[in-house]
Chains A and B, each alone.
Chain A
């Protein structure tokens, strides 16, 4: 069974600082996709960043970057220059190709403090 684990239920960071959210997953698949989604109090699940497992290069989207370690089955999210608007629940998700039963972790609640 494919599972996603987020071991940090809550984290906080000072505005303008850097924070890293952890995610590990379990799968026997070789090709798959990994995602980080952000869910603010408004409830809308927003795609933050996506990584294809066959790509060795870590994905980057502005202040958001990932550290993808395929052998270790680890997929952490780094947020640089944290902003108050980054306060939200962050979910790590796993999706094998052609199988749309996307699996989510339990989430990490991130608070950015002024």
Chain B
């Protein structure tokens, strides 16, 4: 049973660039959430996708956008990168029947120079 997968593992970008991160949910899950985890802190909720629509959004600017595909996989896009966007980006999936329990992927480490 495949768990949540994310790609790439690491990414280095420069300020002003754009980045796309990818996530495939755990088998049987249809809901994907994205979190940003700054160094030494707990994860912060960015947004959640269900049925290809953004269902809920945290306190993040519009530079952060996402997409969910018919196969439930998801992308996180960040435009106009800032140094402060450097963080571990975690994807979590859950089932529509149990959306309160989320299972996380290994994360993508983004470094903005």
Contacts and interface: CB of A to CB of B under 8 A. Distances in A.
B16 interface: no
A44 B99 CA distance: 19
Contacts of B103: 47
Contacts of A4: 42
B78 interface: no
Given A43-B107, A101-B56, A33 B43 contact: no
Contacts of B106: 42-44
A46 B92 CA distance: 11
B94 to A, nearest CB: 8
A100 B107 contact: no
B105 interface: yes
Closest 10 CB pairs between A and B?
Answer: A104-B42, A45-B104, A101-B45, A33-B100, A44-B106, A100-B48, A43-B107, A104-B43, A91-B42, A106-B42
Contacts, number: 59
A50 B101 contact: yes
Interface in B9-56: 31, 33, 40-45, 48, 55-56
Contact of A44 (B42, B48, B104): B104
Nearest to A50: B101
Contact of A45 (B55, B58, B90, B101): B90
Interface of A: 4, 33, 35, 37, 42-47, 50, 91, 93, 95, 97-107
B68 to A, nearest CB: 14
A82 to B, nearest CB: 22
A101 B88 CA distance: 18
A37 B99 contact: no
Contacts of B45: 100-103
Instruction: Tell which of B56, B92, B94, B102 has the most Cβ of chain A within 10 Å.
Output: B102
B44 to A, nearest CB: 8
A100 B41 contact: no
Contact of B42 (A43, A97, A105): A105
